Amino acid sequence: MRPFAYSRPETIEEAIALLDSDARLLAGGTDLLTLMKGDIVAPAHLVDLKRLPDLDDVIDLEEGTVSIGALSTLAQLETDPLIAMHLPALAQAAAVAATPQLRNMATIGGNVLQRPRCWYFRNDDVHCWLKGGEECFAREGDNRYHAVFGESRCVAVHPSDLASVLVAYGATVHYRDSGGVQQIGIEDFFSPPTEGRRTEHVLPAEAVITRVTVPMTADGARSRYVKAMDRKVWAFALAGAAAVVVVDEGVVRDARIVLSGVATVPWRARAAEQALIGATAGPEAFAQAAEIAAADAVPLAHNGYKVPLVTAMVRRALAEAGV
């Protein structure tokens, strides 16, 4: 890592005041430090949030939502009884992410801000489009782990398991910037990188996430997250699916299906959701929705396998959620 200054502000205002284009926020550090060690980013200044009194790792019920403090770790999400009761797919996603050690370190705030694992992006000798260059090297290179959905110049996939679940649950990201307390729906928070903004989210550079809130699901809602990996544990998703379905008297009243590992952002399978709503919950409808979820995939040269994998993941998420 290149040299940098380190500070541990006492208040969130102080933290925000310290933020400029050369500064980065440090929480769990599990993504930021790998980016710095790889010389992908080289901030002059790290602002450590972990002991900021204004931030916490409290998970609580609040006005019909589950409120998750930004410093909550993945280990907490995996084991917290409130999460298990109200947002089981979030616990499932946390449990299949990374390793026990990383889950003890990584925070939910950092998780939604993490950068892609694309092997071109992560190589400091490759000046790819996402890092401000001209070319996406994965598009014509080895793209076995890359996107099958979306139209961004970048074909890296979003690495987070949690993110797709949060989108499925319709979460809200709360943050502070110089203008005060702000909030943004998670679906708007994630946004494919553009010419002018080469990140996977729209959070302003000078903002601090304070918490994530997730509305309590409706009665009869069931949810599930599943993912496929190259080995049994400790790998990013080749493809994953988060499903939240509301079933009433055997009929699907509402459905959210969000895919991970297949696009630059968590990918909502809207057509599959529509096909499901109103259908009789069961293997037939789930299989059909799963086919639809993968139907408009446009694989690259080396990731055609993700298409049947998406189908398999969606079917399983629905089958295991909807019973």
Partner 1 sequence: MTTLKITKGEEKGKLQLEEQEPEMAAWGTDAALAVVGQRHPRLEAIEKVTGRAQYSSDVRLPRQLYATVLRSPHPHATVAAIDIAAAEVLPGVHAVICAENTEPIPWYHGSFVFDRTVRLIGDEVAAVAAESEEIAADALRLIEVTYEPLTHVVSMDAAQAPGAPKVRDEGNVAGEPKVYSRGDPDEGLRQAEVMIDRTYTTQSALHNSLEPHGCTAAWDGQTLTLWDSTQSIFTVREQVAQALGLPEHRVRVIKQHMGGGFGAKQISWKQDVIAALLAQRSGRPVQLMLDREAENLVVGNRPVSRQRVRLGATRDGTLTAIDADITQGIGAYMTGGEASNVSGMYQTLYRCDNVRTVQTPLYTNLNPGVAFRAPGHVEAAWALEQAMDELARELGIDPIELRLRNYSETEQLEEKPYTLPEGLRLSYERVREAFGWDTRERPAGEGRVRRGVGFAAHDWVGGSGSPPGYAWIELNADGTADVVTGTQDIGTGTRTGLAQVAAEELGLPLEDVSLHLGDTSTGPYSPVSSGSATQATLGPAIRAAAIEVRSQLLQIASTAMEIPVPRLSVRQGKVLVDGDERRSTPVKEIMRQVAPHTLHGQGARGANPTEKVARTFGAQIVELEVDTETGEVTVLRVVTAHDCGRIVNPTMVDSQVIGGITQGIGFALTEERVVDDRLGLVLNANMEEYKVPTIADVPPIEHAAVDVPDPEANPTGAKGIGEPPLVPTAPAIANAVFDAVGIRVLDAPISRHRLLDLLTTQREHAS
Partner 2 sequence: MAATAATHVPLTLTVNGRDHRLMIEPRRTLLDALRHDLDLTGTKKVCDMGDCGACTVMVDGRAMYACLLLAVDCDGRDVRTIEGLAQGDALDPVQEAFVEHDAFQCGYCTPGQIMSLRALLDADPEPTDAEIMRAVTGNICRCGAYRNIAQAGRRAVEIQRARGEGAAS
Q: What are phi and psi of 206, to 5 degrees?
A: -105, 55
Scan residues 11-30 and list those touching partner 2 (CB under 8 A): 18, 26, 29-30
Per-residue mark of binding to partner 1, 84-123 (x: CB under 8 A): ---------------------------------x-xx--x
Scan residues 216-255 and list those touching partner 2 (CB under 8 A): 233-234
Could you give the CA distance from residue 313 to residue 226 in angstroms, rounded to a whole number? Answer: 6
Q: Locate 279 and state its tokens.
A: 């259908």
Task: Please give the radius of gyration of the chain, using alpha carbons only, rounded to the nearest integer.
Answer: 19
Residue 148 touches which of partner 1, partner 2, none (CB < 5 to 8 A by kind)? Answer: none
> Residue 193 CB, nearest distance to partner 1 (Å)?
21
Could you give the CA distance from residue 203 to residue 190 in angstroms, rounded to a whole number? Answer: 9
Contact 4, 44 (CB under 8 A): yes
Residue 227, SS3? strand
Q: Locate 307 and state its tokens.
A: 């298409």
Among the candidate windows 167-175, 180-188, 217-225, 296-304, which touches partner 1 by CB under 8 A?
296-304
Could you give the CA distance from residue 211 to residue 108 in angstroms, rounded to a whole number? Answer: 8
Residue 8 touches which of partner 2, partner 1, none (CB < 5 to 8 A by kind)? Answer: partner 2
Q: Give 180's strand partners.
A: 177
Interaction of residue 142 with partner 1, rule CB under 8 A: yes
Q: Locate 264 and state its tokens.
A: 């630059």
Q: Which of 45, 277, 302, 320 binds partner 1 (CB under 8 A)?
A: 302
Q: Locate 181 and state its tokens.
A: 């307390």
Q: Locate 163 and state its tokens.
A: 């993110």
Scan residues 75-104 and list those touching partner 2 (CB under 8 A): 75, 98-102, 104
Neighbours of 185 (CB within 10 A): 12
Per-residue mark of binding to partner 1, 152-191 (x: CB under 8 A): ----------------------------------------
Q: What single letter denotes the amino acid at residue 235? A: A
Interaction of residue 137 with partner 1, rule CB under 8 A: yes
Interaction of residue 141 with partner 1, rule CB under 8 A: yes
Among the candidate windows 5-13, 170-178, 193-201, 246-254, which touches partner 2 by CB under 8 A?
5-13
Q: What single letter denotes the amino acid at residue 247? A: V
Scan residues 11-30 and list those touching partner 1 (CB under 8 A): none
Could you give the CA distance from residue 231 to residue 59 in angstroms, rounded to a whole number? Answer: 31
For CA atoms 1, 29, 195, 130, the dihedral sign is positive
Scan residues 202-261 and list those touching partner 1 (CB under 8 A): 228, 230-235, 238
Q: Which is nearer to partner 1, 34 or 199 (CB)?
A: 34
Inter-axis angle of helices 88-95 and 161-169, nearest 10: 170
Residues in contact with partner 2 by CB under 8 A are 1-8, 18, 26, 29-30, 33-34, 37-38, 45-46, 48, 50, 75, 98-102, 104-105, 233-234
Instruction: List interacting residues with partner 1 (CB under 8 A).
Output: 1-3, 117, 119-120, 123, 125-126, 137, 140-142, 144-145, 228, 230-235, 238, 302-305, 308-309, 312-313, 315
